[in-house]
Amino acid sequence: MRVRQDNRENLWLALDTLRAHKLRSFLAILGVMIGVALIILVVGLVQGFRMAIQEEIMAAGVDTAFIDRFDHQGPNNGRRPLEERQRPQLTLEDGLAIQQLCPAVKQAAVSAFQWEQVHSARYQKNEVQGVEFRGTFPAYLEVYSNATMKAGRFFSAAENQHRENVVDIGESTATALFPSVEDALDKEILVEGSTFRVIGVFEKPTGGFGTNDEDRRVVIPFYTFMKLFSTSFDIAIRILAYPGKLDTAVDQVREVLRRRRNVPYDKPDNFSVQTQLDMVKQFNDIIGGVVLVIVVLSSIGLLIGGMGVMNIMLVSVTERTREIGVRKAIGARRSDITWQFLFEAMTLTGVGGIIGILIGSGIVFLIPLVSTLKAVVPAWAVILGFSVSVSIGLIFGVWPATKAAKLNPVEALRYE
């Protein structure tokens, strides 16, 4: 009971000191306040970015997997490891074998790309650079959950079989080339020197990072793509597994492809199978490292704030030497003096932490209102910010508190 009363008394003494020296206290906690606000802001932005990316990755479907001869989608800074470049191409027959021989696979969409070539789409004087140009099968519409038609239709199996020059384009591509989405239908656009009639427009995906800015898909029938580009393309396959059967489907796909590609039992796969969950895990690993680096850099403000608090507390000890002597003369113990100054330091930094949390959270709250970015402050970040700020006071308050506790009461009372 006595300890509880002492702690309460120390807290009130600390608050009284704050009120008595407002400007000095504010300057002391400024570094802590800025450090905590930066941490809250960074965590809020990163968490929002993480959520947006996860939504975009998962938009392709939880029960889907991407099969490619490379270990990464797209080139790695324009260059791939020699081992990957020497791998045999995936083929249309591989996709058909997966569809036929893998019972857990509901549907497989084979697509043809030219990874390292930049494509453009043109209509009259309007042009869109960097479109995602591919040839695929009608199964694309089922396998890709974000492939929803906003206007028109997707091409049919007959149009694919007869190598028709028809195309489905993304909403952003449509609005860049035409006055409106509806105006795009039945118009002819130029892609890679060939003319295609627009028969459908994809609805712009929602919820994912960047999808509000870009939907640059330009999709033509697979056999039309083959007619235009002969063999100068890469094949990739996306599968849709039956609900709850993704792991089984991936195992079946690996078995079929290893057998078809004559991979010895003691050799690794010469292709990659990546699920949406794998992509989320890889992204989380990357983001975790980025967050750690940014938080460490933001902690410099906390370190500076802690040194400021220690300096102010040392000045406070000097100013209150006589008060310390009086307290010791009437029975205060060393521990009482120590906790008095520690509580004062922790109160200073704790108040700075609360202000920093409010400022950081306020900025995070405003970001989605004034921009397309997502930002959210998790509860653990608030708890962490406050705990760190109080800990800064505890750590940097030890020396001033110890110095105060060790003062000789007789000399302290005689101090002017």
Tokens coding 69: 């001869």
The residue with greater pLDDT, 338 or 364, is 364
Q: Say whether pLDDT at 396 is over 90.
A: no
Assign 3-state DSSP to the chain and report helix, strand, coil percentages, each to 5. 55, 15, 25
How does the average pLDDT of the chain come out, rounded?
Answer: 81
pLDDT band at 182 (very low <50, low <70, confident <90, very high): confident
pLDDT band at 2 (very low <50, low <70, confident <90, very high): very low
As a whole number, mean pLDDT of residues 344-369 equals 88
The residue with greater pLDDT, 194 or 304, is 194
pLDDT at 6: 55
pLDDT > 90 fraction of the chain, expressed in percent and rounded = 26
Instruction: Provide the 8-state DSSP code for 155.
Output: P
Q: Say whether pLDDT at 240 is over 70.
A: yes
pLDDT at 212: 42
As a whole number, mean pLDDT of residues 260-282 equals 83
User: What does the buried/exposed string (b/e) look like for 67-104 if buried means 16 or more CB atoms within 10 Å of the residue's CB?
Assistant: bbbbeeeeeeeeebeeebeebeebeeebbebbbeebeb
pLDDT at 21: 64
**pLDDT tens track for 309-344:** 888 777 777 777 777 777 777 777 777 777 777 888
Instruction: Provide the 8-state DSSP code for 325.
Output: H
The bridge status of strand 194-202 relative to strand 234-241 is unpaired
Spatial contact of 189 and 121, defined as CB atoms under 8 Å apart: yes
**pLDDT tens track for 133-172:** 999 999 999 888 778 899 999 999 999 999 999 999 999 8
Measured distance CA(66)–CA(236) in Å, rounded: 7
pLDDT at 46: 82
* Selection from 286, 276, 272, 254 nearest residue 71 by Cα: 272
Instruction: Provide the 8-state DSSP code for 151.
Output: E
**pLDDT tens track for 66-120:** 998 887 554 444 566 767 777 888 889 999 999 999 999 999 999 998 877 788 8
For the chain, give every domain's residue range.
2-56+284-413, 70-270
As a whole number, mean pLDDT of residues 287-303 equals 74
